[in-house]
Structure 1
Amino acid sequence: MRKVTFSQEFFKYLFLLVLVVSFSSTYAQEDATSEEAKSEETAAEQTEESAVPGGDPAKGKELFNSLCAACHKPYSDAVGPALHGVTERREMDWLYEWIKNSQALIKSGDQQAVALYEEWNKVAMNAFPQLSNQDIDDILSYVEQPKPEPKVAVAAEATTGEAQSGGGISNEIVLGILAFVLLMLSVILILVNKTLNRFAQANGIEVKDDKPKGKPIWVAFAENQFLVLSTVIVMLLVVAWYGYGGLMSVGIDQGYEPIQPIHYSHRIHAGENQIECKYCHSSARVSKHSGIPSLNVCMNCHKQIAEVAPETQAKGEQEFNVDYNAEIQKLYEATGWDPQTQSYSGESKPVKWIRIHNLPDFAYFNHSQHVTVGQIECQTCHGPVEEMEIMYQDAPLTMGWCINCHRETNVKMEGNEYYEKIHEELAKKYGVEKVTAAQMGGIECGKCHY
């Protein structure tokens, strides 16, 4: 009917209007974000300007990371004092002598050198005679840069600031107005429709009813025996399929991702910093179990790393809702480490880690046999660990999964005298060049069950 056609056309054009306004506001926000990014880049370039005349912060950063970062931090104390502001506290000529050979300066009786040596528990500073004055200028130029602020929700702040300053109308206001207009027009159309029907009835005009008349659909379905029988069979198959799948998934924890008492990012450690898995899980080389790394292993690095880079901290807060610096403080609390005095208090606390990969007691698995002898990469069973922010169980770890791996994996014979003795006979027996773990007896029941 005419009134129905009019309603459909109206809603179509109104919907297009909403889309146009939404895309326009989105592009405007992207432009604002890009302008904010440009201003941040300009600010970053200004920050990179040398704080020491003639110094290059970029070269200084490389030298600092390779020579100084083990004992010093730019903005906080470590084994040695924080270096930011050192050019204001000391003269440049004195700094040249101290950095190149601090012990010689102490033995000469220099009061500043002796006082600094005693203040920091008489810990001898390494000598760097290979550094030129220009190299030292570069290092000092790097550490004297202003401390960068973390970038958190830049786009959101820009949008909020614009709305508060009256420089534009926010998306929420525009969409709210459009929603209100749409609601009002819908009410008006309903009232107009009722008025037209009443007007037609008053003038004796018959209003055509487009609704089909006939049996209710459930009555027609019940009278058709073929449809009833087919539906029952399909329902039984669906129940059997999902019931079987549910029973077969009992005890399978694939995807298990518990929250640990101290957040540990494998993405940062194994991914960005490329720390080898077996550096922390060292017992995987020689033991049945991979082992939980002791907190002393963590402190090998985190004695010096008390806080992460601002950009890393901002990414953790925005994408993963994690405060990395707070997690490092949890580690210090558990080990009893005081970053200010650079010493242990002797009051440590246990960390109740939650185990993720847990095989049944009747299944035997030896890490050293796979890692050391088989030379299998950790990612084969544990998945892309270097990409995981939160560790989870990647593989199902079922018997079928293990057997398929034994059937498909060739045994590495090089450098293994035991395998070299029987490799030739097994290769002849199976008519192959390389023997799989299954052909070596890797699918016998007694290999994994005892």
Structure 2
Amino acid sequence: MSKTTFSDKEIKILQKNPNVQRVSSLAITYSDDFFKNKFMNEYLVGKLPRQIFEENGFDIDIIGMKRIETSAYRWKRAYEKDGLIGLSDTRKTASGRPLERKLSQAEIIERQDARIKLLEGQVELLKKLEMTERRLLNAGQNLETSKVFQLIYETIEQNQFKQMTKYFCKRLGVSRSGYYSFLKATDSRFEREQRDLETKEIILKAFNRRGYKKGSRSIKMILKNEFDINLSRKKIQRIMNKYKIVCPHRKSNPYKKIAKATKEHQVVSNKLNREFKQGVPGKVLLTDITYLPYNGKHMAYLSAIKDASTNELLAYHVSDRITLDIATKTIDKLMKNKKTSLDSKAFIHSDQGSHYTSQRYQKLLKKHGLGQSMSRRGNCWDNAPMESFFGHLKDEVDYQSCKTLEELKVKINHYMVYYNNYRYQWNLEKMTPIQYRNHLLAS
């Protein structure tokens, strides 16, 4: 019996608790059938006595920790000695001497039923622990250590397990001291996560700038040039990987087929030899034709001329036919472009497609004083910058959703303006093609 006494007010509070059988100023009797059985069930799977009392509606300040510890010790000893029968309150019937009379049949059945209920409760709790442990082991496979720590913490909190941290850490192969360090660092992790979310929003502004998705290099240049924000590429890549911000990747074009030159067509030598960056705007002009399928079953074709030194698109033509006119009209647009100033030694470099080997096309170049160069047969690397441009265009322009050829032309026009004026490029000293052209002319 504890020396602490209960006041009348405290007695009234305790009497309202369904787990209390009776209470006086000096003593309290708990329910044998429910509370003591439940206490042992939960105590045996790791809960602390104080937690069990609190969860069952007892005010610790009224009961007192000494009374709780004494009761827990007494019930544990009694249960270990006599099982469920040992939990029965014998203070009214026992006089300190062993009970000599035999139990009646009804008493034996009643006590056995109670023992069965207690064992069933223990089995259910053990099943719950076993299922929880199995889920932990399955979920913890191939996870980062921090994720395993988070998994252990959530499991313990959700199931109100106590004194199970060491066991779970051992089962999942992580350090218990590391787990507690993980819990202590919760605030700093939260702050770091908030900073990453803020950086993510900044990156998304550049990622979706002008409607075209970009990679880490383009994002870095846009943030520097247009937002005056300096982020390292490693940080940009880390945030993009963390939040699944995916830059489009070029895929091989299954429709890419270069027409074979006929005997009547003349192939010229490769005078460029992959010397694309000659530092002279308007000298090395690359050209090619690509396929643009749209609206499910329709096909359009894009012919373009690109300045190899500045990456600027000088002329282009979109058509629904791949006749020779698509190449010649592109040359006509090049010569009519007043913003373009060609070098006196300017020449057009292309593949050996039938458009470029035709006599009509070659005569047109001579008429305008343009030289001609061709890639080696079947060697796409000889015209790699042009192939690269078409790849970027197909990644960044949603041309397949266009319903009409006119709609497709509008999208291509918008992209050409964006590419020349707003798309910063790493290899152009982080300038746009127009800026880099002016830079070369001024130097």
TM exceeding 0.5: no
Q: Structure with the greater relative contact order (CA < 8 A, sep ≥ 6): 1 or 2?
A: 1
Higher helix share: 1
- Give the TM-score taking structure 1 as reference length: 0.20
- Give the TM-score taking structure 2 as reference length: 0.20
Query: Rg: which structure is higher?
Result: 2
Higher strand share: 2
